[in-house]
Structure 1
């Protein structure tokens, strides 16, 4: 038993842990490919900045649930309907608050609207200015949900992954995408482009840019509480 887990047991009633052991063994985890936060290595193993934190949490609890990577819309749906299911990296918003049980923050970032450097004609002073351009988004992604408050439905082009939105931007099939600087840099290494090829148009400051680990509402409250305590213990022990 790991030191982190021993410390955790000191603050978690044994009866609560015993009641959740079986549920913990049933846990499954869903996510999307979102490098460098989560991505597949050449050996087919999922890794990344957020994945490493999730795996550290499981290691502290001596668990090894399967982590399934899939398009975001599918992961988002599964995490709302399947018991004993966790999802990451998910942004917490008022619209999503009641849809999940929120375990804790894995990391934070910033999200920008981005265009090709050569597209000097694109000027964005607010999201309302986007109605002139084609915007690459992922269905049920937080950026899509955020921009849906504006009359932009005809401008949105739905794509399965953020990396696909960048490919479409490079091919000039869309005009604007949303990404963080660290995400853009990482994708450019994979797609043989350079971050200097792009221009940051506008920061989506209204977005909560904390990436969470969350659980389906049908996951037991005891399991969620144990995971919250374990994640907090790991963060405290840094």
Structure 2
């Protein structure tokens, strides 16, 4: 009977551990912004996109479903710094942000360019100082804003709530330049009825990391962060 009880305990213990881990996973909230084609709201109101698909695959491997909440980036960024059990994506990893989050892993990779209208032949960017001759549409607290803020005069930045709005403002010539990736620009043109040929890539922001990460708030349990890291690596 003692042997049977011992064997039974060996079978039950892993189940108890998995149950506890799953309970912790269910307590996680995931915050993000609308940033097509990486993350966006589908017609059925579910979140979709390249980064979202990778996130869903990660949680599926752990037999869980992520609680994803879309909101303006500045709000998501603040929540992920202040609230426990919080994940954020897609976020670029920079030296300034390194200590603000626990970095889980890369979901997708991209390149970021400064973009203007093809019809605006008067715009020329040879270095970042040249940006001070133009109005730049940015999202507050996003990585482009943080990067350009070192080079731009404050009055040259026009703060906008989300990425789709930056493109709309560029089309209306309310701003002269925005930041975008080719994937994002192509996707947004399909939604807004513009053509990628309507735009001109002015300058690649080579100083920016091209990887979009999943990260966790610093007060998220370390064992859960480690589990997410290991599982994400296995999906690569």
> Would you say same fold, with TM above 0.5?
yes
Residue in 2 that maps onto 1:82: 83
Shift of 1:151: 3.5
Cα offsets for 1:48-86 (capped at 9, x unmatched) = 000000000000001113100111001101111111110
**Contact conserved, 1:16 with 1:222, CA < 8 A, in 2?**
no
Residue in 1 that maps onto 2:130: 129
SS for the counterpart of 1:83 is coil
Shift of 1:15: 8.8
Cα offsets for 1:5-61 (capped at 9, x unmatched) = xxxxxxxx9897566343212011010000000001111111000000000000000
**Contact conserved, 1:17 with 1:226, CA < 8 A, in 2?**
no
Residue in 2 that maps onto 1:35: 36
- Please give the residue correspondences for 1:54-93 in structure 2 after superposition, counting only pairs within 5 Å: 54-93=55-94
Residue in 1 that maps onto 2:158: 157
Cα offsets for 1:170-224 (capped at 9, x unmatched) = 0010000000001000000000000100000000000001000000001010010
Structure number with bigger Rg: 2
Indicate how the Cα distance of structure 1 residues 19 and 44 shifts in structure 2: closer, same or farther if over 3 A, else same.
closer
**Contact conserved, 2:22 with 2:64, CA < 8 A, in 1?**
no
User: Structure 2 CA distance, aligned partners of 1:206 and 1:39?
Assistant: 26
User: Structure 2 CA distance, aligned partners of 1:207 and 1:18?
Assistant: 40
Indicate how the Cα distance of structure 1 residues 217 and 49 shifts in structure 2: closer, same or farther if over 3 A, else same.
same
User: Structure 1 CA distance, aligned partners of 2:200 and 2:123?
Assistant: 10
Residue in 2 that maps onto 1:201: 202
Unaligned runs of 5+ in 1: 1-12
Shift of 1:153: 1.2
TM-score, with structure 1 as normaliser: 0.91
Indicate how the Cα distance of structure 1 residues 16 and 95 shifts in structure 2: closer, same or farther if over 3 A, else same.
farther
Cα offsets for 1:87-127 (capped at 9, x unmatched) = 00000000000000000001100000000001111000111
SS for the counterpart of 2:146 is helix
Residue in 1 that maps onto 2:186: 185
Unaligned runs of 5+ in 2: 1-13
Residue in 1 that maps onto 2:109: 108
Q: Does 1:169 align with 2:208?
A: no
